[in-house]
Structure 1
Amino acid sequence: MSIARSSVRIPLTVGAAAMAAAVVTGCSSGSGSIYDTPKAAVTAATTPAAITPAAAPTLQTTGAPAFNTPSSTPTVPPVTGKELSAFLPTAAILPPGWTIKGNGNESDTGTAINDYRGDPGQKTEPCNQMRLSGSVLSLGYQLSNAMNEVNDDKHTVQVTLAAYRPGDAAQLLTDLRAYAERCKTFTGKSVDGISIPMTVTLQPVPGLGDEAFDMKRVPTGPYSSMEVVAIRIGDKLLFLSGDDILGRLPNFMQLAVPLAKTIK
């Protein structure tokens, strides 16, 4: 008699510094709370297939554009969080199968502008504190931000839109690429203290905004993975981030294409 096996993903721990950064942004749990939430058992028979409409391109790894090219749509800072919130996803622009629950845990930095040009924590952060959440990765050099969440059936994707001084959005993506390169492999910890080998990949996404990349943190074994798609539109950055705690990673490309087109 054979016994069907469930594919169980187990959350990983995260360093105190990364958690503190998430608190500073004021974001809700949503897609960023995987370290504290056990992943439900999901069988191959019950795991929903990723939604891939014909109009949504898939990740490409060839024909990558040159990074840090002059922006085709420069912005003039300062741009406030209140202004950024106008570009957050709404039901009218979401692709089929995606929804916003309630107000989507929407938040923004209001009319305040951050005068302090703080370096990204990822320049010096230990690899084992890596957290691929837009609310964390967007912080370096940031002037303002706005965030909400969208849902694909069971999956939640955090949408973070941030504004920067001229040139700083491109510089932040350069810093994050260096972070991914420095942390290509490292050892993390499970919630019960087990050492877990981790692999980090970063691939450019041609044809999306002025420049874009897809970054993943993938553990060895039945543990949760994280993914973020970062898109630069002038001096703004759009981050889409989530995890596979419910069986698969969200279809980020399906969201990225229509959302990037609405940002000016």
Structure 2
Amino acid sequence: MVAAAVTGCSSGTLTVSGELPATTAAPATSTGATPTAPPTVQLPTATAFSTPSSTPTGPPLPTGVDLRTSLPTAAMLPAGWTIKGTGNPVDTGTTINEYRADPPQITEPCTQMRISGTVFSQGYRVSGATSEVYDGDHMVQVYLAAYRPGDAAKLLGDLRAYAERCKTFTAKNTDGAPVPMTVTAQPVPGLGNEAVDLKQVPTGPYRTSEIVMTRIGDRVLFLSGDNILGRLPNFMQLAVPLVKSIT
């Protein structure tokens, strides 16, 4: 919660505007006459302090603990999908991030692109929760993040612009050799309010990464993984029932 600031402040010193009326000594009067009354000066009234209302509007923002309840459970996973152990759930706790940071992808170099929900969610985020599920042996990171009204849509726009700016670039492998990279961002019709499937594909025998980002109101679901074990996970098989459970 942000404490309301007091706005508007008036000076404690009263001032008189305009000229005071001239005064002269009262003329002598005969015995028994009523003396002339002294002039009256009207002083301005001091301005009262005002305090804006600090009552919040709209529903409260969800915390990480709230979001954690929407992470996938074994009971709702598609056939062939599993959770190993606890699924390593992590959340941002019971507080809301009051600092509204811009997404790093707005300015960072294309060579720094990391396909991960924890990274892509950072801009404007107020809370988040994550866990891991498996499509056979292929791990998928599930990340659900919450945003202030309008910021989730803005974030997806920023990430689409990032993908467009970095649709081709040259990275380097561990030996310093150049590796041409191609990035695609395709809309996914009918999933949530809007959804984008983003892939980072290298030329040569290197790992391809993918992330499916779905906006559900002011929340975004990120599903990310790679083909290090031979193929990419079937993200849409998980995304469809999971998005429905969040709505």
Q: What is the TM-score when the length of structure 1 is the normalising length?
A: 0.71
Deviation digits for residues 70-98 of structure 1 (CA, Å, limit 9, x no counterpart): xxxxx834110000000000001100000
Q: CA RMSD in A?
A: 0.9
Check if 1:112 corresponds to 2:124.
Answer: no
CA distance in 1, matches of 2:130, 2:92: 9
Structure 1 equivalent of residue 110 of structure 2: 127
Among 180, 192, 196, the residue aligned to 1:197: 180
CA distance in 2, matches of 1:130, 1:221: 18
Higher-Rg structure is 2
Check if 1:149 corresponds to 2:120.
Answer: no
Contact residue 155 and residue 246 of structure 1 kept, 8 A = yes
| SS of equivalent residue, structure 1 residue 180 | helix
Gaps of 5+ in 2: 1-57
| SS of equivalent residue, structure 1 residue 172 | helix
Number of residue-to-residue matches in the alignment: 190
Contact residue 184 and residue 201 of structure 1 kept, 8 A = yes
Deviation digits for residues 90-112 of structure 1 (CA, Å, limit 9, x no counterpart): 00110000000111111001101
Q: What is the TM-score when the length of structure 2 is the normalising length?
A: 0.76
Deviation digits for residues 175-205 of structure 1 (CA, Å, limit 9, x no counterpart): 0000000000001111222110000000000
Structure 2 equivalent of residue 243 of structure 1: 226
Higher relative contact order (CA 8 A, sep 6+): 1
Contact residue 77 and residue 166 of structure 1 kept, 8 A = no
Structure 1 equivalent of residue 243 of structure 2: 260
CA distance in 1, matches of 2:187, 2:135: 24
CA distance in 1, matches of 2:101, 2:115: 19
Structure 1 equivalent of residue 193 of structure 2: 210
* Superposed counterparts of 1:10-159, under 5 Å: 76-159=59-142
CA distance in 2, matches of 1:78, 1:261: 20
Among 173, 176, 195, the residue aligned to 2:159: 176
Check if 1:230 corresponds to 2:228.
Answer: no
Distance 1:193 1:164, change over 3 A: same
- Report the AA paired with residue 175 of structure 1: D
| 4+ long deviations beyond 6 Å | none
Structure 1 vs Structure 2: percent identity of aligned residues? 69
Structure 1 equivalent of residue 202 of structure 2: 219
